[in-house]
Structure 1
């Protein structure tokens, strides 16, 4: 399967349905501010939590670095606290460092998971081959 096929499958094939935040956007922002004070946030919808397919050795390296074998892709940015991403743009995160029901944290950003999303598996190559610009 070519990388393009893997990316198309990642973006558009069915995955495990996951419920994100269903309350108000302001309440989710408040939760993030309380839980991760001072850390930039990016609120997203139509998101995909990507569990990366890695070897035991790769998993060990990520663990030693304090990283999860996971990344996040979102079809739509709702609000970015630092204006890095404009509304309606897509975004893909770096490796995660923590995950709760509604928040995917990376070293530099907390991604606020608004509304329904999906969880899927993908290779590192497929997940990280998507780049903006």
Structure 2
């Protein structure tokens, strides 16, 4: 069972502070369009890259599916190209398939990391315990 302490630590605990995109939102969207042509995107702020705490067997299973042991949580959606998320909503991605300094890609969406964020470890059960 996931505890409130585990969820609080994920959202508000210390993590490694990392920089996302510092330029304009429009420039970031243009970069994403060149890097991932035609792929849905979601611009986010106040984001957390989450390194999932998983076993070696779980890492292998994820790799076999082309997935990273990582996901993304964002406190604020700025813009979603498909209109799935309204501005100011929060969002949690599925497992990642690739990640760069400013973008976190899942199978269906590339999340564009606007401004500064953080990187934190968390248990798989903690991360996937909250839903909209």
TM range (shorter): over 0.9
SS in 2 for 1:44: strand
Give matches, 1:1-133, under 5 Å. 2-132=2-132
Give the Cα–Cα distance (whole angstroms) in 2 for the partners of residues 50 and 84 of structure 1.
Answer: 22
SS in 2 for 1:84: coil
Q: Using a 3 Å threshold, how does the CA distance of structure 1 residues 122 and 68 change in structure 2: closer, same or farther?
A: same
Aligned length: 132
When the two chains are superposed, the root-mean-square deviation of aligned CA atoms in Å is: 1.0
| Length-normalised TM-score, structure 2 | 0.98
Q: Which runs of 5+ in 1 are unaligned?
A: none
Q: Which runs of 5+ in 2 are unaligned?
A: none
| Length-normalised TM-score, structure 1 | 0.97
